[in-house]
Structure 1
Amino acid sequence: MYKTTILKTSAFILISSIGLAVNAQKPKLPDAAYNLVLKAPVSTWDEALPLGNGLMGGLLWGEKNTIRLSLDRGDLWDERTNGEKEWWKKYTYQKGADMIAKKEFKTVGSWWDEPYNGVSPTKLPGGRIELKFPGQEEVKEFELMEATAEGITRFRSGAVMHTFYSATDPVALMSIVGVVPDAVKLFSPMDVYRKNTKGDGGPSSGGSVNKLGYPEAIKGKSATAEWYIQEAADGLKYCVYIDNKKNGKETLIALTITSTADGKDPLALAAERCAAALQKGYVKMRMPHAKWWAGFWEKSSVSIPDTAVQKQYNLVQYFYGAASRLNAPPMPLQGVWTADDGTLPPWKGDYHNDLNTQMTYIAYQQSGRYNEGASYLNFLWDRRDFFRDFARDFYGTAGLACPGVMSYSGQPLGGWGQYSMSPSMSAWSAHLFYLHWLYTADDTFLKEKAYPWSSDVGECMLGLLKKDSNGLLKLPLSSSPEIFDDSPKAWLEPNSNYDLMSIKMLFLSLKEMAEEMGKTADAKKWAAAALALGDFHTKADGTLLLDAKNELTTSHRHLSNIIGIYPFNLITSEGGQKDHQMIDASTKSWDKLGTRSWVGYTFSWMSCLKARVGDAEAAVKNLDIFVKAFVLRNGFHVNGDQTKSGYSGFTYRPFTLEGNFLAAQAVHEMLLQSWSATPGDLHTGVIRIFPATPEKWKDVSFTDLRAEGGYLVSAVRKTNKTASFSITATRSAKLRIKDNFGGRAPIWNVKGVRKTGDVYEVNLNKGQQLKASFN
């Protein structure tokens, strides 16, 4: 088992727009009018103002004369296995398949599900800082200044507190002007537990932090500083440290979290970091921080004539910058905003690879947040040796596999075995490597990271798949997240459509990547494997089934049986009659079954899917419902309908982030698409400008969104018509653009644009910009 360490990654070679021909219109900083503003009181941690720098995170909240900052650091994990150590080596996939064949479902459940029922492994909270102000003071509001990633706390007296988590240094700073706090106190997680009276956090929580069995934190004070050192598990110790300084009328507070992953003496390191920050002061520390964020926002921007959607979109882009950095841990379920109520985080705050991680990292490609997205890819890359061991020890194959549910170190946590131990989750994770290559057009990344990692997953799949009597490749076990939960019915007949679609997309992407690198033999192997999987399972009318026999007959939260439509473009609106039948019949079936068992992410995922098939009005309807009913007032996605309006039968409120990122991606899908209708065929992507823009978005624009092939695209739509667009190439290639301009012919700035069918084609050199306008 790995010990907790700070993620050390190899930097990706990323495509930059610097030095290229650029659009006259530059990406805009987020408008202050769309800042997140929370009127006081804010009396619960999950409605707080979210701040962070990737490694550390904070939640700013409070009421009356009390302000709290809940603390987190991404690599604070308790990695102790629940039950037998390395249980997956003993209770292997083949043994599970043998027992399932004998209908010994409870036995397999005890092997693969029960390990998840312990307290650990789990993400750990970091405690909180509590500031008490004079009794006459009363907090008025909290505002997130998204352009500079600062939290502003305003008091009714006119006093102000500014807070930021430095984008360039592992510290956070608070500057208080107009009032002096009476007390600044530091609380360990156990202190918070003792202050809290809400119990163990409900069914999604791992329980109270006291169940961890840690010794009491060792606390200390100096003339200006306060700290605690918590001994955790497996040799991990971490230090939470605050120091303060008076600068005239300003009270300046610095804080940091260090651990034994940083060095042998976390306390000395923390003191050094805070002292250096206080010495520089708020203004000097803020300068490189603000510069970093200015560069972040320069990547791209969108302008939507819908305040609620625009606010959500801007906030989600901010989440990438605040919670995911190239050399920091990637976002688990709650990012760097772990629960602060004396409990452990919902669902252990783990890495769920049956939807959550993949959808959390689904929206960075088009907005050009490549470094932020690479955080997760580097995380997977750096654990490839463990994943190879897991493939060998659990699946009995070569190659690699990442567990469906895993800890920070990559160890499997177990859970519902149909999904937590499903090999197809690795295929879905490999899809992110493929997308990163498509959007960056970075062949060095393809050669050094994307193909090696993904092809290792492919080898694991080939090791599991066996030919049946019809010559089709089948897995020993199959499921479809999260159909039938963990009941015996959840073991479907191999291959479920979910497994089939996930693995087929993997093989086709491997074929494409192999061809790009000139690996002809590999490309043929992957193409043959994709073909040998066979066709998707449908009813006579084209409705996609769960497997060869079972139909989805009730409302469900996970779009697993139609994943081939989105995010995989295996079934497309530009395909043949068979594709159209599958799309039409399957979406009608889902609509008919209703949303009773949907959760928040279902609505934003369905919004993406409806946009992908060109149904703009259904796409915006689902997005509007998500923004209205499935986010808390600070923008966090929650699973249940908070309005209790009947959108869903679920009304509970554990928060996870994937629904937020799917909502941002839904916006992208409405504004710009660039997928290939024939995945596996090299360089066949087509750019589609405003492909699913709803009627009510009459005037909308975007700047420097990315398209597959490494293109930067900007466009303006006025009165429901495309007014102009420009496309900049980051490599020399043939550009293909769908003619969806309503019969109007574009006026081009370059010669040589030709039309084949309904697609415009032109060869562009690296750095060249194509512009189009309309009369």
Structure 2
Amino acid sequence: MHTRKIFNAILFFLNISIGSVAYAQMPELPGSAYNLVLKAPVTTWDEALPLGNGLMGGLLWGEKNIVRLSLDRGDLWDERTNGEKEWWKKYTYQKGADMIAQKKFTTVASWWDEAYRGVSPTKLPAGRIELKFPDGEEVKEFELMEATAEGITRFSSGAIMNALYSATDPVALLSIKGVTLQDLELLSPMDVYRQNAKGDGGPSSGGSVRKLGYPEALKGKTENAQWYIQEAAEGLKYCVYIETKKNGKETLLAFTITSTADGKDPLLSARQRVANALKNGYQSMRKPHVKWWTAFWQKSSVNIPDTAIQKQYNLVQYFYGAASRLNAPPMPLQGVWTADNGALPPWKGDYHNDLNTQMTYMAYQQSGRYNEGASYLNFLWDRRDFFRDFARDFYGTAGLACPGVMSYSGQPLGGWGQYSMSPTMSAWSAHLFYLHWLYTADDTFLKEKAYPWSSEVGACMLGLLKKDNNGLLKLPLSSSPEIFDDSPKAWLEPNSNYDLMSLKMLFLSLKEMAAEMGKTMEARKWSDAALALGDFHTKDDGTLLLDAKYELTNSHRHLSNIIGIYPFNLITSEGGKKDEQMIQASMKNWDNLGTRSWVGYSFSWMSCLRARLGDGETAVKNLDIFVKAFILRNGFHVNGDQTKSGYSGFTYRPFTLEGNFLASQAVHEMLLQSWSATAGEVHKGIIRVFPAMPKKWANASFTNLRAEGGFKVSAVWKNNKAVSFSITAAHPRKVRIKDNFNGATPKWSVKGVTKTGDVYEVKMSKGQKLVAQFD
């Protein structure tokens, strides 16, 4: 009997141990408890329920007996240049540098700001569908079923409307049961403008859609269908088409948005798509849709003991699937949820490459959503011929450059030329190619896209850089986003720390990629270029400056002068005494300056940065503030403090998505890191499991998060200690694991694990799994 008790006890503890590991190996679909639920009324588009399939997006909202669905399609753009066409060929970078040297700041501003002052180029809204139900019927709530990407509208009577944007077809469907649809109205953007007392969009908007000067939409109607065709600019026409069908007690609606990008006859294309959807029905269309989303969620999952942050994390991962697809337009500032208020979107709904696009695509690598991230990389790749022309015509160099602020076609939009026309924005964009390669360890991608695109950016940068009297490479002009806004003072002394860090990270990443491919001479070239940039600018105490002269003396929203800490790991907590001095002094300076001039993304960016430094408490503090004060009730990031609690002096409302994705990445950074402290050296990444856990996250786990080198990592954290973790190799490679286990020694599932200093090492074969458990 005594022996049996011991045996059962052993089995009990083994089951706990094995169960912990097994639990960490099975990605979870988002639980319904974390679904986005909006109690009616929802009276504004930017607090609506977001739906989408990458190409098309929709916002579900309404009140009383009215339900609205705001419409969007990612590639609807008015590309008309404001002012002179191809103005960048006339007002070149060198001419701007010459004028700046003569202190003719106003002249340069007039050259490079003019294009942005016009109505176009701009992203276009696509109108709205309004559904009217019988008097007395009332909307109760809207719910986003994240696991299946369906929107549910519940009525007080118990009636339900289901909505989905098909993951496999360019069409959307609504299924209404338990209530009769009394009226359906399809509104063009101009109809929406006329409905709104104010159609100017408020701060940062380009004004009303009326300013576009388009003719009225051509409308059509049959017994069961409605559509409009909008003639836009430069030959673009787009069509919104919706049709209804009765299936017993169900009313089924299908709709789509087509354009001349789909063929010569958008109306015909739309009819065919909708007819096919109605023929198949909601449940039939739902099956492949749910299958796609199940596969999407099974890439990875995260569990943390913080409802608000977990909810935001799940929602943001959902945004990748809803708004960014492999063969669809990548997300601009507002993704596929363009303003529906009779106005053009804030900041033209464009692609800002001085932070927004880069940070929007910073959270997909660790969650393994590579196809969704590749949407932006393919977008940049496909426009490389235009970017080559831009490098030649504007910068006067070989290689390629993507504008700091650009339209869907890639044309530069200007505006605040210190940043919109800065060459180093291309270096930051190249960093995304580099990260994609690091995390996938895909040598084909490295050879065919990452190195070719990035090396052409490198060629452009080398064409601009000239040696000064000290033999250091300097740009003709320099700035630091968005320090001193668009004032003459914003022209800093080359090179600003931002430019210096962006260039150094580019050249070191090129060195690493070239070395991986065996291109020894090219690797040496890039290494020499990185060295020739010189050291970062600091005060005597190590505080990172803006440039060689100026210190950051006021609170600011953009962490540009410390970008070398994050996302570039050029200055690290493991980089020695000099790095530690720069980090401590710079963090003290940022803390002393306060958050008065921060916006939402500043808090989520700082959360990522603090986590990278191993400071989980400050990381979660900033993340808590972000979730509390800088998101609307539907989860969208807004720039200003909505609580007016003094976290920021900005309290305005325009929404952009990058703050959301930075918040999602902050969670990743607290749970798992894998960076190298020696940027530019091949295969030096070190995996850090639970590197920045705040005490209040006492129990957490994650499944199949990705680490540099193509590794999948799963882990369990209980009572503020690591319980177990596993690492699976996608390629034959040595794995390095940081010993940050507070004195606990892991029990390894394989032999041959060695330890050098505080790093465990072992060679792994393709597909091999390494499991570590703690007593």
Same fold (TM over 0.5): yes
Q: What is the SS of the residue equivalent to 1:113?
A: helix
CA contact (8 A) 1:61 1:68 kept: yes
Q: d(CA) in 2 for partners of 1:180 and 1:23? A: 46
Q: Secondary structure at the match of 2:531?
A: helix
Give the SS at the match of 2:675: coil
Tell me the residue number matched to 1:552. Answer: 552
Distance 1:631 1:334 in 2: 14
The amino acid that maps onto 1:40 is A
Relative to structure 1, the CA distance from residue 236 to residue 708 in structure 2 (aligned partners, 3 Å threshold; closer, same or farther) is same
Distance in 1, matches of 2:429 and 2:571, equals 20
Please show how residues 232-631 of structure 1 align to structure 2 within 5 Å.
Answer: 232-631=232-631
TM superposition shift of 1:223: 1.8
Whether the 8 Å contact between 1:29 and 1:297 is mirrored in structure 2 is yes
Match of 1:710 in 2: 710
1:199 deviates by: 3.7
Task: Kindly provide the amino acid, as one letter, of the partner of residue 308 in structure 2.
Answer: A
Partner of 1:649: 649
Q: Find the counterpart in structure 1 of residue 765 from structure 2.
A: 765
- CA apart distance, 1:25: 2.4
Structure 2 unaligned residues grouped into runs of 5+: 1-20
1:260-282 residue CA offsets vs partner (Å, 9 max, x unmatched): 00001110110111011000000
CA distance in 2, matches of 1:576, 1:307: 37
Aligned-pair distance for 1:641? 0.2
Looking at structure 2, the residues matched to 556 and 743 of structure 1 have their Cα atoms a distance apart, in angstroms, of: 40
1:172 aligns with 2:165: no
Deviation string, structure 1 residues 600-632 (Cα, Å, up to 9, x no partner):
000000000000011110000000000000000
Whole-Å separation in 2 of the counterparts to 1:113 and 1:596: 27
SS at match of 1:553: coil
Contact kept in structure 2, 1:23 and 1:714, CA below 8 Å: no
| Partner Cα separation in structure 1 for residue 759 and residue 509 of structure 2 | 23
| 1:568-594 residue CA offsets vs partner (Å, 9 max, x unmatched) | 000000011000000000011000000
- Residue by residue, what CA displacement relative to the aligned partner does 1:348-392 show, whole Å, maximum 9, x if unpaired? 000000000000000000000000000000000000000000000
Aligned to 2:6: none
Cα displacement string for residues 526-549 of structure 1 (whole angstroms, at most 9, x for unaligned residues): 000000000000000000000000
Which position in structure 1 is the counterpart of 2:748? 748
What CA distance in whole angstroms lies between the structure 2 residues aligned with 1:565 and 1:231? 48
* Whole-angstrom distance in 2 between the partners of 1:743 and 1:198: 63
List per-residue Cα deviations over 1:466-508 (Å, max 9, x = no partner): 0000000000000000000000000000000000000000000
Flag structure 1 segments of 5+ consecutive residues without an equivalent.
1-20
Alignment of 1:97-246 (within 5 A): 97-246=97-246
Equivalent position SS for 1:588: helix
For 2:496 and 2:36, locate their aligned partners in 1 and report how far apart those are by CA, in whole Å. 42
Q: Secondary structure at the match of 1:565?
A: coil
The Cα of 1:518 is off from its aligned counterpart by: 0.5
Whether the 8 Å contact between 2:722 and 2:741 is mirrored in structure 1 is yes
- Alignment partners' CA distance in 2, 1:511 and 1:684: 13
The residue aligned with 2:668 is: 668
Q: Deviations over 1:2-49 (max 9, x none)?
A: xxxxxxxxxxxxxxxxxxx99872100000000000000000000000
Give distance in 2, aligned partners of 1:198 and 1:769: 60
Letter paired with 2:422? S
Distance 1:44 1:477 in 2: 43
The answer on whether the counterparts of 2:507 and 2:530 sit within 8 Å (CA) in structure 1 is: yes
CA offsets, 1:282-306, max 9 Å, x none? 0000000000000000000000000
CA distance, structure 2, for counterparts of residue 607 and residue 535 of structure 1: 26
Counterparts of 2:278 and 2:235, CA distance in 1: 31
Matched residues in 1 for 2:503 and 2:198: separation? 44
Once residues 42 and 609 of structure 1 are traced to their aligned partners in structure 2, the CA distance between those partners, rounded to angstroms, is 35
Deviation (angstroms), 1:114 = 1.6
- TM-score scaled to structure 1, two decimals? 0.97
1: CA distance, partners of 2:197 / 2:710: 53
What amino acid is the match of 1:619? A
Runs of 4+ in 1 over 6 A off after TM superposition: 21-24
SS in 1 for 2:679: coil
> Which residue of 2 is the match for residue 7 of structure 1?
none
Distance 2:568 2:223 in 1: 59
Separation of aligned partners in 2, 1:153 and 1:437: 42
Q: Secondary structure at the match of 1:622?
A: helix
User: Residue 60 of structure 1 aligns to a residue in which SS?
Assistant: strand
Tell me how far apart the structure 2 counterparts of residues 604 and 25 of structure 1 sit (CA, whole Å).
28
Distance 2:549 2:34 in 1: 49
Q: Distance in 2 between matches of 1:705 and 1:719?
A: 21
Counterpart CA distance in 2 for 1:503 and 1:566 is 14
**Could you say which residue in structure 1 is the equivalent of 2:687?**
687
Q: Distance in 2 between matches of 1:396 and 1:225?
A: 54
Is the 1:22–1:728 Cα contact (8 Å) retained in structure 2? no
Q: Is contact 2:312–2:627 with CA below 8 Å preserved after alignment?
A: yes
Matches within 5 A, 1:8-47: 25-47=25-47
Asked whether the equivalents of residues 569 and 679 of structure 2 are also in contact (C-alpha less than 8 Å), the reply is yes
Instruction: State the alpha-carbon separation in 2 of the partners of residues 690 and 54 from structure 1.
Output: 33
Matched-pair contact (CA < 8 Å) for 1:501–1:563? yes
The amino acid of 1:558's aligned partner reads H
Aligned-residue CA RMSD (Å)? 0.8
Q: For each residue in 1:101-120, what CA deviation from the matched residue of structure 2 results, as whole angstroms up to 9, or x when unmatched? A: 00000000000012100000
8 Å CA contact 1:604, 1:659 repeated in 2: yes
Aligned length: 755
**Native 8 Å contact 1:479 1:491 kept in 2:** yes
Separation of aligned partners in 1, 2:710 and 2:47: 37
* Shift in Å, 1:744: 0.8
Render the CA deviation track for 1:726-775: whole Å, top value 9, x for unaligned.
Answer: 00000001000000001111000000000000000000000000000011
Q: Distance in 1 between matches of 2:486 and 2:113?
A: 9
- Identity among equivalent pairs (%): 83
